[in-house]
Structures are given as structure tokens and as C-alpha cells.
Structure 1
């Protein structure tokens, strides 16, 4: 998988001054656009679209300093419809406008070209299994929240605190299948990049075959295959490291890719709340070949 992903990175480099089609990148990487965007973000720490933008502005910056083309020619070559749009993007990355950079020979920022390799350290053990589930319902309370990669998500924490204990008790009674108990369910993301700050629907909910009470939110999930990952450790880091390791270690080494759908998580906390047994469910499908 990583070899094919690096071939897609080579394709980006060859087309920085042309239109880059994410569908073509996914074809080269032999995966789906959805999975490519999510895995790239997990591996690189930035969305694929942002990486391409930064690489273009890096090579455009070199051409600005070289002085062989007019600034407008450079702008058009790298996909900007006007000198003003190019100047705004250039300043946002480099901290200086292209005209001033050319006049003064200013030092510019650079986005290095990326490539990927898998480093096996053997420092942790990831427990996983593949589960086939029939159609089910997610039933609970829903809120729209921003994505937070590290540390507690304040919006989710505040939302959970606002749910009355009686509602939580009723929810627990509805839980009648795996994964059991009250879960965190992430669905309907603003986009597929996994970029911090983008919004998604968060359900504090259970998985059930029953119909939702009128005062609760419901999400019907089609039948499909799920990869289930488990670990234990400090909370919430154990949960967040589980998400990271699934995309950066497990997917590149196994014949599966993520597919669109809600992602489920459960944490069984220790008495003091400092440790947790964490479990996540990611919708997956087998890759070809």
C-alpha cells in the first residue's frame, strides 16, 4: 500500500503546474478517494488538498525568486485565476507578497516533498478483529462538533455533561447488540480530509435493533464489514492513539480500506477516570488484489 501511495506522490510532483485529479491519485494508490484522503491525513498530519497547495506555492516561490517569468505567468501556471488571488495565497504561506519577495530576495517557507515508509517498532500491540454486522440503528442524542485530534474535545465533553442521568439509563436499556453500552459515534463529516476543526455529527448513543423513542435521535446503518480495534491505557490518549495507529500502521499492512459510514468508539474508564479500555469500530471493505 505504501509503495502505491508513493507512486501517487510522484504523480503529484509531475503535475504541480497542472490539474491534479484525486480520483486519479486514488487509482494509482489502488484505493478509494475516501480512504486515500483519510489515510494521507493520518500519515502526513495535514489534508491532501493542503499538501498539494503548499507544494505548489513552494515551487511557485522558487520561480518568483528566479525572476524568469512574470508574476502573473507564475500565478496562472500554478492554478490561480488572478494575480490578486495568487498574492493572497503566497502571503498566507510565505509571510510576504510575491512582488516584495522578488524585489528583496526574501527567505521563503518550503513544504518538503513527502514520501512514506512503514517503521515497525514493536513497542505496542494492536488487537483487532473483522466483524460482519446486519443493518442496525444508532439511537441517542446528537450534536454537531469540531474534530479534535489530541486531548479532550470540549464540545463533546460539555454535550455529554448536559445529558440527564435518566436519559443515559434509558439508553443503556436499549443497547441489545455489539458494541454494547453507550458509545461515541462520529458521522456525516464536513469533508473526508480528517482535518482538525472540521465539523461532524456526534451521537452519544447505543447500537440497537429497536426503534428510537420520539425524544431521541436515530441513525440507520446499513449492513457491512467493520474492523474492530482494542487497546488499554491513559484516557483519552489511548482512544486517540488507537485511531492514529489504525490508519498509520494497520491499514497500510492489511488488505482493507475504510469506507464511508459512522465510526463507533467506546471507553470503559477506571474508577478514577485516568485509564480506559478503548475500542473503535471502523467501516471497511476488502481491497482488490
Structure 2
């Protein structure tokens, strides 16, 4: 599965439907995976959420229509799928910095977001240490929060969940349950279907989960384990980007589509790991 080709196919589909319905089901069909998984890969490779990219493209075309006087602003809003003037005004202003009415002025300064076109990259300018391991199924226990299929919402939900768990000392309570590999606190993104998406703050354990915690089993798999240190948020994003753009296209593996696992230390060190499931092509 060449993710660069798949992303370009989906981008072409989006481009053909910017003024009509963009179907989650059709994107899943083109990408051969769930809409949720596709959004994750899209954001890792492009640095944009899928929703943000679609909005930027729609507002670029809407600005052209407004400046060419292609109709009333309310009609242009409906053309690009906005059911109310308020939602269209908010989206337009978030992209261009001005309300739609002011875009009619020929001197208005507007932003243009062109269609994306992706290609393979061979960088090699920065080493990332990794290993490939086979691991039997294992159980994780911890707390969880429900996620949305909308990745933009999840980018807010997950950091707030971490803050809450840290502030109520839940992380320290997990230590006593971590009696299995991998060692450390786990951030696990678990997708079963569109109604069952959770993010777990957990540990790997053979112990029985107490009543105030949840447990799930991670299936047997081959994992590529990236090791890194430094700023967690920036480094994690960089690892996923390098995996999909630079490592996976030239390997003999495919993305395994199991939960991605981030392993953080209990101590104050900056060393951490990212576990990504892979399988033979």
C-alpha cells in the first residue's frame, strides 16, 4: 500500500467534490481503511488535519467566487456546503482574516491554498533509531476517554485528558500495575469502529484491572519501535511523518492498522518510544 499514491487519489476526489458532498465512505473506499485511520495518516504526512485542508481549499475557491461576483455571499456559502451565513463567515475569516463581505474589495488581501500534490521523499538528513520486534498479544489497563472521528476535536481532547490524569495523580497510581513489557506509561489510540474510538492512558500489565480502570488486549503483531528523546509532541509528530513518508514506502512492510502506542517514561527523562504495527506486504 503506497500511502503517497493513496493520498493523491483522495485529494483528487476531494478536489472534484469541493462544491458537493465529500463522503467519508468514499474516502474509506479509496484509501482501503477507515476514515479515522486515513485522517491520522493524512495529518502525519501533510502536517494538516483533513478537515483543515478541505476548509482551506473551499475558502480559497469561495474567495475567487466572491471577487468574481459569482452571486450572493449566502449562495456561495451554500455552494460550498455551509448551511448558515454564520458558519461560512467563521470559516472564511479563519482562513483569510477578513469576513466575506470585505473580500469584494479588489484591494483585499486574501490567502490562497493550492491543491496538494504529494511525492515520495528520501531525506536521510536526520537519523531515527528503530528496531523491529515480534510480540505476543498483551493487555493494557488504565483510564480512557472517548474520541471523535473528527481529528480536530481529538487534538483538543487528548492533551486535556493528559492534564487531568497528571493533576489527579493517576499516572503515579498506574506504576504499581506495570509488570509487563513495554515499561512506562502508554498513550494508546484505539479504534474499533466509528462508535468505538478511545484514547487510553495506561500500562502493560498481567494484573486484573481494578473497578475504576479499563483493560483491552493488543493483538500479536510485528512492531517497528522508534526511539527518540526531546520535546514529546514535536518528536512524536516527526516520527510518524518519517514513518509514512520515508520508511514505509521503501520497506517490505505495510501499516498494520493496530493501535499506535506511545511509551513515555515514569521518570523525568526525555527518552520515549513510538510503537507502530506493521505487516509483510
Counterpart pick for 2:116 among 114, 117, 123: 114
Secondary structure, aligned partner of 2:39: helix
Distance 1:18 1:285, change over 3 A: farther
Distance 1:5 1:252, change over 3 A: farther
Per the TM alignment, residue 275 of structure 1 is displaced from its structure 2 partner at its CA by 5.0
Counterpart pick for 2:39 among 31, 37, 40: 37
Asked if the contact 2:174/2:203 (under 8 Å) is kept, the reply is no
Aligned counterpart, 2:213: 217
Per the TM alignment, residue 267 of structure 1 is displaced from its structure 2 partner at its CA by 4.1
Counterpart pick for 1:261 among 259, 262, 267: 259
**Higher Cα Rg, which structure:** 1
Distance 1:239 1:64, change over 3 A: closer
Cα offsets for 1:148-176 (capped at 9, x unmatched): 8xxxx69747844754898466234xx13
**Alpha-carbon distance in 1 for matches of 2:260, 2:42:** 19
Distance 1:139 1:99, change over 3 A: closer
Counterpart pick for 2:227 among 201, 225, 231: 231
**Alpha-carbon distance in 2 for matches of 1:8, 1:166:** 43
- Given the two structures, how large is their TM-score scaled by the length of structure 2? 0.75
**Alpha-carbon distance in 2 for matches of 1:65, 1:166:** 58
**Alpha-carbon distance in 2 for matches of 1:79, 1:56:** 9
Secondary structure, aligned partner of 1:211: coil
Aligned counterpart, 1:196: none
- Given the two structures, how large is their TM-score scaled by the length of structure 1? 0.73
Pairing of 1:1-289 with structure 2 (within 5 A):
1=2, 2-123=4-125, 124-129=127-132, 131-134=134-137, 136-140=138-142, 147=155, 156=162, 159-160=165-166, 163=169, 167=173, 170-172=176-178, 175-176=179-180, 178-179=181-182, 181-187=183-189, 201-203=199-201, 205-214=202-211, 217-234=213-230, 236=232, 239=236, 241-254=238-251, 255-257=253-255, 259=257, 261=259, 263-267=261-265, 273=268, 275-276=270-271, 278-283=272-277
Distance 1:263 1:100, change over 3 A: same
Moved more, 138-147 or 106-115: 138-147
Per the TM alignment, residue 104 of structure 1 is displaced from its structure 2 partner at its CA by 5.0
Per the TM alignment, residue 58 of structure 1 is displaced from its structure 2 partner at its CA by 0.4
Secondary structure, aligned partner of 1:120: coil
Across the aligned residues of Structure 1 and Structure 2, the Cα RMSD in angstroms comes to 3.6
Which consecutive residues of structure 2, in runs of 5 or more, have no partner in the other structure? 148-153
Distance 1:286 1:138, change over 3 A: same
Alignment length (residue pairs): 265
